[in-house]
Amino acid sequence: MSREDKDALLQAAARCMVDHGVDKTRFHTDGMPTDEVMKAAEKACESKNPLPPWEMDRTNPESLDFAGRVVQCLRDKGVKKVEVYNDPNSPIVGASLGGPENDSESITKGLDFMDECEKEASKK
Task: List Cβ<8 Å contacts ≥24 apart for 63-69.
Answer: 63/92, 63/93, 64/93, 66/93, 66/121, 66/122, 67/93, 67/94, 67/95, 69/117, 69/120, 69/121, 69/124
Tens digits of pLDDT across the chain (124 residues) = 677 888 888 898 999 999 999 988 777 777 788 899 999 999 999 999 888 889 999 999 999 999 999 999 999 999 999 999 999 988 899 999 999 999 999 999 999 999 999 999 998 7
pTM summary value: 0.69
